[in-house]
Amino acid sequence: MADYRTEHDSMGAVRVPAQAYYGAQTQRAVENFPISGRTLPPEMIRAMGLVKYACGSANRDLGKLTGSGKNPLDDQQVEALLAACREVAEGKFDGEFPIDVYQTGSGTSSNMNVNEVIANRAIEILGGDRFSAKKVIHPNDHVNMGQSTNDTFPTAIHVAVAVTIAETLRPALLKFRDVLDRKASEWDAIIKIGRTHLADATPLRLGQEFGGFARQLDLSAERGVRGLVAVLELPVGGTAVGTGINTHPEFGARVARVLAEETGLEFTEAEDHFEASAQRDGLVECHGQLRAIAVTLFNVANNIRWLGSGPRCGFYEVKMPDLQPGSSIMPGKVNPVMCESLMQATARVMGNDQAIAIAGAAGGNFQLNIMMPMLAHVALESITLLASATNAFVAFCAEGLEANEEACTAAVEQSLSMVTSLNPYIGYDKAAALAKEAFKSGKTIRELCREQQVLPEDQLAEALDPLRMTEPQG
């Protein structure tokens, strides 16, 4: 069997790998863009399959596929087309999408890649020859009916991003939140020293500290929802420039309705197709929420890394699971590798946000953004990195965290900030003088107060009660 077959498009003959489901236009793009070796992420390909299914369903229900236009299909052919769309949406043909991310800025090459694969697979489902030059199901006339790359490709980006946030990122964030909540409850009685400016501050409970982390994750999950909501309006129905040329007036609404039913997300037709086709502001807003989530995750991981520093010359207030040797030269050294992994992943997401912002600002010239494949790649990379790194951190670090109660409590009595609770009794100036004297002498605040008889013992015991200092006092 030959390694290649010859296919034709409007520009002439092209050699295509013999068994490929794609055709001439895909192959031209493969040859034209030998850029990064990175193809569109599978989430995007599957979203494109789902969008094509929704478009096919709308065209079927509107009578467009079986109507009196050029090369109408019969019912069996329509069902084969929809079945092929389903298979692409289910990931069964992920290997048939070889085009580099850095391609034509509209995504036309990838849109045609999807159209060709669906058309050829539908022909095969019907028992026909998918290699035949005459396409009984045509990639443009049937699969792409009522559509332009300019409205369906950004629609697929929105679908892929929203679904991936809903199915992977939010569950990961909520799982992390739940683990931190549990640790906060378990450690609520453990008193430790607080730190501001990396300097000793007043006491708090380890549970309170981790409760703060849990709240950060709760807010991050809410930001995930806001990011999802930002991409629920879909451009589909606007076709080339937002006018809806060559499509039915009800097409966009019907496609959005099918996508909502298929995903369980509240997709709607864009309120203004000229805005929706030309601009990617919703995606910029969405990724801004992803950036905020990345900032939170970086912060929490870094705080846990500091709290686990040691084991003898750091804070060591929490113990992290020992996962792997930490040094090629220092025997026995163990590093906070999961914190570092999460911090690196989130740093990449913060960088990705700059690429998204540039593409949103500079890419949208007049009626079309011309950086959409990169937008899809970067946005989905960010979501995947956040979800995967969070899941790994929870599984291999957060779940196994242990409190080192001895280390937590040892520093409390030594803290000069214990003097803060004396302010209501002796005033700020005298309390500051006590702190300086305690530091100079090496004595604790309690010892110095007793020596100088600053307060009666019962008042001193109440004022310097570390547990009492972790809550407001009337």
190, HSE (Cβ side, Cα atoms, 13 Å): 23
Q: Which two tokens stand for residue 230?
A: 């930002």
Supply the DSSP symbol for 315.
-
String of DSSP letters for 28-64 = HHHHH--SSSPBPPHHHHHHHHHHHHHHHHHHHHTT-
Catalytic residue among 185, 197, 417, 441: 197
Both tokens of 14, joined, read 């092209």
Q: Does the annotation count 68 as an active-site position?
A: no
Is 109 in contact with 79 (CB distance < 8 Å)? no
Q: Which two tokens stand for residue 261?
A: 């039913």
Could you give the CA distance from residue 191 to residue 204 in angstroms, rounded to a whole number? 6
Q: How far apart are CA 131 and CA 146, in angstroms?
A: 25
State how far the Cα of 339 lies from the Cα of 320, in Å rounded to an integer: 10
Annotation says 57 is catalytic: no
3-class DSSP state of 403: strand
Candidates 327, 377, 421, 441; catalytic one: 327
Q: What's the first-to-final CA gap in the chain, in angstroms?
A: 88
- Widest distance between CA atoms in the chain: 102
> DSSP states of 227-252 as a string?
HHHTT-EE-TT-TTTSS-TTS-TTHH
Between CA 48 and CA 159 the distance in angstroms is 8
Residue 324's CB: how many other CB atoms inside 10 A?
Answer: 7
CB 419 within 8 A of CB 438: yes
- Catalytically annotated residues: 197, 327
